[in-house]
Structure 1
């Protein structure tokens, strides 16, 4: 009989303890928020390529190196800072042409160019074409004020999360309290323009408009856990 009473008392104590823990757990709500800022780009990263093909590996390599030399000299004459252009990839590949049933070689080099003044874009492209560049592998529009716009997006994301929490709390006849946890889920993405074959523009003139700049979307994504209460909390 004593054993039965002891077990009952033990279970009763455990249940009471569970109630105490549950009672101390604050009401919570977790929401996500997104902030967006649309801005016009003022910079661009251009990835260019020089490619030469032939049956002799040495001749193909020499031809490609000669073109790259012209490109780099042109970039220097264009007054681009050396830190704003860089070789990314250099290849010399042996390939097989199944139609002609013979091997050939392909030499290529990829260079990225950071252009901080979009008004010089057309002149740069024309000069690169004249220097022998035959591929544009892609361009990425950017803004020089990215940190400023990212900060604005984060503030908007927090406000958006707070508005969601207020909506849910109102529907539950509760009030939103202090933030208990904040997680930044933001991932930076740039909008690329995909690879295109470069076309000769030497006769087009630098006044031709060849870019549709549009806008860059700067986003922030945040998750916030708020305390919920039955009484309004003055923050």
Structure 2
């Protein structure tokens, strides 16, 4: 079928007018962060022993495990707050001049310890290393009420998105209508990259830079209808 230039112009103009007269809505992104003083610490560490025989490696690792558990109990950490792996054994080698050289048998146990006594962390680390832990994997501070903090961050993110939608609507001389779409965004996930430029203010807020605090963030995309007068 052949369409003349006049007919095409009419169709294009009609589609454009329909878009203008019946806008589909307003989309706004909102992000927020809340902070709290940590009340929980998690320490992850390993005991690693290398000996010439499997039996000697197991015995050395067991002795270190007993000593470390004793140190933990002295700091008031109950066994229920300690997660420990079973002893693991593997051949230990090192490379010398490009060749593999047998070193012995390596036995290791991994630990994860949780404590609510933050003022004791320094002494705890010193004592578990002295007792036999020879690899500290991480010391992470957290809060027990993270769910409540996340909920508050989400409420603030919704308020931020609504404020942005109101601003755009006012600038465009329209009114914000009913909510049509709510999309939760995890700010830490790679697929949130396209939103980060819109959330730079939230990402660099004083809350995020506050030392000694746990910061919990949330983000949301809201879609609104354009209200009709």
Q: Give TM-score, length-normalised by structure 2.
A: 0.73
Correspondence 1:34 to 2:59: no
- Gapped regions of structure 2 (runs ≥ 5): 1-10, 190-209
Deviation at 1:144, TM superposition (A): 2.2
- Measured after TM superposition, the shift of residue 25 of structure 1 is 7.0
Matches of residues 88-99 of structure 1 in structure 2 within 5 Å? Answer: 88=85, 90-99=87-96
Q: Distance in 2 between matches of 1:87 and 1:50?
A: 10
Contact 2:58 2:87 in 1 (8 A): no
Separation in structure 2 between the aligned mates of residue 172 and residue 25 of structure 1, nearest angstrom:
14
1:63 to 53, 60, 63: 60
Residue 88 and residue 35 in structure 1: after superposition, are their counterparts in 2 closer, same or farther (change >3 A)? farther
Is 1:104 aligned with 2:101? Answer: no
**Paired residue secondary structure (1:101):** strand
- Paired residues of 2:47 and 2:65 also in contact (CA < 8 A): yes
Q: Distance in 1 between matches of 2:37 and 2:226?
A: 40
Given that 2:182 and 2:223 are in contact with CA atoms closer than 8 Å, whether structure 1 keeps it comes out as yes
Deviation at residue 181 of structure 1 after TM alignment: 1.9
1:76 equivalent in structure 2: 73
The 2-side partners of 1:25 and 1:57 are apart by 77
Structure 1 pair 42/188, CA: closer, same or farther in 2 (3 Å)? farther
Distance 2:139 2:183 in 1: 32
Aligned CA-pair RMSD: 2.8
Match of 1:152? 152
Contact 2:50 2:92 in 1 (8 A): no
The alignment partner of 1:27 has SS state of coil
Q: Is the 8 A contact 2:45 2:111 kept in 1?
A: yes
In the alignment, is the contact (CA less than 8 A) between 1:94 and 1:105 conserved in 2? yes
Q: Equivalent residue for 1:46?
A: 43
Cα distance in 2 between the residues matched to 1:72 and 1:188:
35
Show CA shifts across 1:157-190 (max 9, x none): 001111111122122221111212212223679x
Residue number in structure 2 paired with 1:5? none
Matches of 1:90 and 1:188 in 2, distance apart? 34
Q: Tell me the CA shift for residue 67 of structure 1.
A: 0.4
Separation in structure 2 between the aligned mates of residue 222 and residue 154 of structure 1, nearest angstrom: 7
Structure with more helix by fraction: 2
Provide the rounded CA distance (Å) in 2 between the counterparts of 1:25 and 1:91: 67
Work out the number of aligned pairs and report it.
Answer: 191
Q: Tell me, which stretches of 5 or more residues in structure 1 are unaligned? A: 1-14, 190-211
How far the C-alpha of 1:34 sits from its partner, in A, is 0.5
